[in-house]
Amino acid sequence: MKNDEYAKYRDEAFIERLGVELEKMPLSEFWPKNGPQWDALGRSSSGKLFLVEAKSHISELISTLKAENENSIRKIQESLRKTKHYLNSRTNFDWSKGFYQYTNRLAHLYLLKENDLQAYLLFVYFMNDSEMNGPTSVQEWEGAVKLLHSCLATNQLKLKKDVIQIFIDVKHLQ
């Protein structure tokens, strides 16, 4: 929002900004401090929650857990394990490596779902962003995302209807 200088929220601030309470599974029990920083958050008039992650180039899909504190690592690994189980992902692929930013976003969607909240995760993929030298077509993004889903074994996501991909061509915004 303009009145908060388009801040990116994380930790308890993202929960407060959404205006919800996590009664069944609190964030502090699920994830350590310095969790995901959201590109945008939203709440509809009917109470639906929207978590938004935006990407301008394919290399942004690649990331690895950088936590150093053993307790934090354990908590994250356990939450990723619970998320994998909930989503019926049977891969041996380590969700803290390779595509960690994507998996930690899925984990936070899972957290909201476990708290009986109607939530959606929106991945916004920009095309023709010349400053970022990113993809120029939906097909380029779809190929990268297909590889990601193949590694994570999330092609048949239990939350498929709740994880939404949006493709925006910035040429049309100029």
Q: Is residue 47 part of a domain?
A: yes
Own/partner pairs for 40-47, CB < 8 Å, 24+ apart? 41/9, 41/14, 41/17, 43/18, 43/19, 47/118
User: Could you report the per-residue pLDDT of 127-159, keeping only the tens digit for each?
Assistant: 998 888 899 999 999 999 999 988 998 866 666
Check residue 8 and give its pLDDT.
Answer: 78
Number of domains in the chain: 1
Q: Is residue 64 part of a domain?
A: yes
User: Could you report the per-residue pLDDT of 75-119, keeping only the tens digit for each?
Assistant: 999 999 999 998 888 889 999 999 999 999 999 999 999 999 999
Q: Is residue 120 part of a domain?
A: yes
Q: Is residue 130 part of a domain?
A: no
Range of the domain at 51: 26-124+141-159
Q: Is residue 62 part of a domain?
A: yes
DSSP state of 46: T
Which letter, b or e, does each residue of 30-52 get, where b requires 16 or more Cβ atoms within 10 Å of its Cβ?
bbbeebbebbebeeeeeeebbbb
pTM listed for this prediction? 0.92
